[in-house]
Amino acid sequence: MDLIKHLRYFVTVAEEQHIGHAADELSMTQPPLSQGIQRLERRWGLRLFDRRPRGVQLTEAGAALLASAQHVLDAADDLDREAGEKSDDGRPRRLGLPGDLGSVAMDCAALAAEALTPTGTTLQPVIAATTSLVDQLGRGEIDLAVVQHPAVVDGLDLGPVHSLPRTLAVATSHAAAAAHEVHLPVALPPRSHNPPAHDQLVDALRRAGYTGAVRSVATPAEAAALTASGLTCTVHTLADLPARLRPLAGPAVDLRVRVATARLAPADEQRDLVAHALETRLASG
Amino acid sequence: MPWRPALRPAERAGAILRDAGCRGWVHARRVDDPDDDIGLDPDDIVPIASVYKAALALVWALDADAGALDPRERLSLRPSGRTPGPTGLSILSDDVEMSSRDLVRLALTLSDNAAADHLLDLLGGPARVSAVLAGLGHEITVRGGTRHSLAMGLQETGTPDEASYMRALADIHRDVVTSQYDPALATSASARTLTGLLADLWGDRLVPGEHGDVVRGAMTRQVSSHRLRSGLPHDDVDIAGKTGTLGTLRHEVGVVTFPDEVPIAVAVLTRSARPERHLPVVDAAIGAAAAAVVHPLRAPL
């Protein structure tokens, strides 16, 4: 017996005090509703309604049970609603972005949000280090991410590698014309944010003749401030290089990224819309 | 309740390899005791690249012991179709006459691709070698020698020769994929299987005599010392090893023998995120990871 369905019969008949009206309310005919009420009475071994010439009236036992029945129905409705919110359509999509993407991160977030607008879904950007984004994808905490390449990425599905132009940068007042003439430390995000990409970047600087120390800084803003003050150099995306910094030609330090999703993640049209928007933006450099 | 090895050394090995930018698979055990072991995903099947030459050498020693081949027979090796590579017969232009036991020595000490492919042919090819290994309980699926692996790689990357294939695999601007990274398509084994194979060689169970000595001696004289040896740089400690390298794959398996102690078999298999051909940070991490799992297993003879 479908108890929830029969409770709905019970509550509706109690409200309408009339089998015919209740059947209308429930979009059904009268006989199956009457039979349903009788089944419920047999299950519980008591009479719920007294039949009257112009309708029905709750018995004492029926009146005593009505509140509990209503409570069960309300709880079932709440459960349905909660499950609906958890389902793929309503929930905001979580997009992971690495902290050192510069203004490209803003572009990615804006374009992803635009791609979701027609579906009525919202976007929630999550800024974190690449190693953390990979872990969050693996645990299903985010739906997709832009991650640095190279990175240790077991268990992820990955799009093509995109290159974003990046440069070694010094303060505009700095005299150096080439990497090997810069004797300042280079301010970079912590190596732990993604060891292989960090090592690859430092190797590229060494390859270009840069011999300075590597100074780990917490944020791109700190790297820019230290560099503008003439205390360090840094590596910055070219498109949004601050006016107080000057690019130095030479080292091949482009930032490489790719769009990642968890392997075996369930199909999700909204996530795919975001992925498509990201691929388009990143392919344009 | 079976005894469970402590997790900490394996976790340390994993952290060392992650910090070097790679995924790692590790297994270590004393050659006389398969149950007291340390492993990091030790049963995952991984493409093993040239590490397979050690398995090939074991099959050669068994065949020689059984009298199925004469290890001293002089073989005429023509340059046509010779497998290319950076060392040994692979770099020679002319006819060579050589015994199979010397082919084993070149395949193990120098990771000579041409010598190993000659041996593979001599031993009956991939199917027979896999079957012999399976008969010993070693699940090492040989899907072809270096010649085969190279042919697949050239085709998949659309490159005309070995040098351009190697450059394609090392391209930092793309993620180059080849079947040779796929455990279902390349010659593959688990780290635990590889230490089991070494234990068979060193435990004197299978090839106690002269032919086993050729294999053990050649692995002791391996010229590569940038991986396992870098983590155990002690002159009185013997290391017999075999490396394997292809693109992002960097491996070494070996037997580490401290004086008056039970030899320890160790396998460290890695796949790095970076595709560059020269990654000393990964080579050193293989040594450090090996040290992390070998030391806790040390025991006196």
Confidence of residue B231 (pLDDT cuts 50, 70, 90): very high
- Residue-number span of the structural domain to which A207 is assigned: 166-253
User: Could you report the per-residue pLDDT of A209-245, keeping only the tens digit for each?
Assistant: 999 999 999 999 999 999 999 999 999 999 999 999 9
Give the Cα separation of A201 and A190 in Å (integer): 12
- Are A199 and A227 contained in the same domain? yes
Beta strands in B129-214 (DSSP E): 188-190
* A209 and A177 Cβ atoms separated by less than 8 Å: no
- Count how many Cα atoms sit within 13 Å of the Cα of residue A158 in the half-sphere of its side chain: 22
pLDDT reported for residue A101: 87
- Are A180 and A136 contained in the same domain? no
Per-residue DSSP letters for chain A?
--HHHHHHHHHHHHHHTSHHHHHHHTTS-HHHHHHHHHHHHHHHTS--EEEETTEEEE-HHHHHHHHHHHHHHHHHHHHHHHHHHHSTTTSPEEEEEETT-THHHHHHHHHHHHHHGGGT--EEEEEE-HHHHHHHHHTTSSSEEEEESS---TTEEE---EEE-EEEEEETT----SGGG--SPEEE--GGG-HHHHHHHHHHHHHTT--PPEEE-S-HHHHHHHHHTTS-EEEEESTT--TTEEEES-----EEEEEEEETTPPP-HHHHHHHHHHHHHHHT-
Is the CB of A214 inside 8 Å of chain B's CB atoms?
Answer: no
Torsional sign, CA A210, A213, A217, A223: negative
Give the Cα separation of B119 and A3 in Å (integer): 75
Q: Which residue has the higher pLDDT, B132 or A80?
A: B132
Question: How many residues make up chain A in this entry?
Answer: 285
User: Could you report the per-residue pLDDT of A58-79, keeping only the tens digit for each?
Assistant: 999 999 999 999 999 999 888 8
Least confident piece of the model among A48-57, A78-87, A167-176: A78-87
DSSP conformational letter for B158: T
CATH of the domain at A122: 3.40.190.10
Burial bucket for residue A104 (CB in 10 Å: 0-12, 13-18, 19+): buried
The tokens 């049970």 sit on which residue? A65
* B157 and B169 Cβ atoms separated by less than 8 Å: yes
- Are A177 and A203 contained in the same domain? yes
How many domains does chain A divide into? 3
pLDDT reported for residue B168: 96
Which class is domain B8-297? alpha beta
Which of B46, B274, B278 is the best substitution to test chain A (most A C-beta atoms within 10 A)?
A: B274
In this predicted structure, the answer to whether residue B51 has a pLDDT above a threshold of 60 is yes
* B255 and B198 Cβ atoms separated by less than 8 Å: yes
CATH of the domain at A69: 1.10.10.10
In this predicted structure, the answer to whether residue B266 has a pLDDT above a threshold of 90 is yes
Domain boundaries, chain B: 8-297
- Are A196 and A71 contained in the same domain? no
Q: ∠ CA(B146), CA(B183), CA(B283), 5° rounding?
A: 70
Chain A residues within 8 A of B174 when measuring between CB atoms: 160-161
User: Could you report the per-residue pLDDT of B68-103, keeping only the tens digit for each?
Assistant: 999 999 999 999 989 999 999 999 999 999 999 999
Name A174's Cβ contacts closer than 8 Å, sequence gap at least 6. Answer: A182, A184, A230, A233, A246
In this predicted structure, the answer to whether residue A24 has a pLDDT above a threshold of 90 is no
* B242 and B282 Cβ atoms separated by less than 8 Å: no
pLDDT reported for residue B20: 98
pLDDT reported for residue B1: 45
Which of A148, A152, A192 is the best substitution to test chain B (most B C-beta atoms within 10 A)?
A: A152
For B12, other C-beta atoms within 10 Å of its C-beta total 18
pLDDT reported for residue B206: 80
Minimal C-alpha gap between B49 and chain A (Å)? 20
Torsional sign, CA A118, A123, A129, A130: negative
Residue of A nearest to B270 (CA): A152
Contact A160 B172 (CB under 8 A): no
Confidence of residue A83 (pLDDT cuts 50, 70, 90): confident
- Are A227 and A273 contained in the same domain? no
Three-state DSSP class for residue B135: helix
For B45, other C-beta atoms within 10 Å of its C-beta total 16
Which residue, among B32, B12, B26, has the nearest Cα to B264 in the 3D structure?
Answer: B32
Three-state DSSP class for residue B188: strand
Is the CB of B226 inside 8 Å of chain A's CB atoms?
Answer: no
Chain B residues within 8 A of A152 when measuring between CB atoms: 18, 21-23, 273
Which of A39, A54, A86 is at the close of a domain?
Answer: A86
Q: What are phi and psi of A122, to 5 degrees?
A: -100, 165
Chain B residues within 8 A of A204 when measuring between CB atoms: none
- Are A142 and A268 contained in the same domain? yes
Is the CB of B278 inside 8 Å of chain A's CB atoms?
Answer: no
Average pLDDT over residues B249-260: 98
